[in-house]
Amino acid sequence: MNTLTKEVVEQINSEYCVAFYKGDSMEQVPFEQADTITFFYPINDFSNYIGKSFKLPKKKVVDFAYFAEKLDSDNTYITFVKEFNKFINQEGLICYPTTYGFGVFVAVGFRKSIEAIKTKIEDVLNSKGIIYKTEYSDAGWVFRYKISKSKENISKLTV
């Protein structure tokens, strides 16, 4: 059971598009039953959205400011990825922000051009002197760019 109140949920809904989930289920549940909240952000032409999820505190009473602060703390990668998507969308791909940096969906249709896509992305990151590591997701559907969180490196995250 989480500590959200109806008033806090109404305030969140007035500012953000959110969904509530319980466990690993992808079906939405009423906020009272949820253990996770997901905030959705529009990207590019507002036809696609990315989500940022947070576990809901079980004991700590939270208010709107609690979530606003959490969202602001993740703004670095969100802002960078919104700008970076303008570049990468020329290839028909979309990057999405994560807690480690960003991911690029490289499923079946893009398998033949992965190396060219990676080269283009890495040329931009390298030209800016951004420190990063790369890896595939466990299933191999996403290519991850793990961005160093050093203050100096984060300051370079502009496109």
| 130-133 contacts at long range (C-beta below 8 A, 24 or more positions apart) | 130/156, 130/157, 132/101
Q: Where are the beta strands (DSSP E) in the chain?
A: 17-21, 36-43, 48-55, 95-97, 101-105, 132-136, 142-147
**Distance from chain centroid for Cα 13:** 19
Decide: 7 and 61 in contact? Cβ < 8 Å.
Answer: no
- Looking at the DSSP assignment, which residues form a beta bridge with residue 38? 19, 53
For the chain (159 residues), the mean pLDDT of every run of 10, in chain order, is 88 84 87 89 56 85 82 67 64 68 70 77 87 83 83 76
pTM value is: 0.53
Residues 6+ apart with CB under 8 A from 113: 91
Q: Look at residue 104 in the predicted model and tell me its pLDDT.
A: 79
Encoding tokens for residue 92? 């028909």
Q: Look at residue 74 in the predicted model and tell me its pLDDT.
A: 60
Q: Which residue has the tokens 């080269």?
A: 119
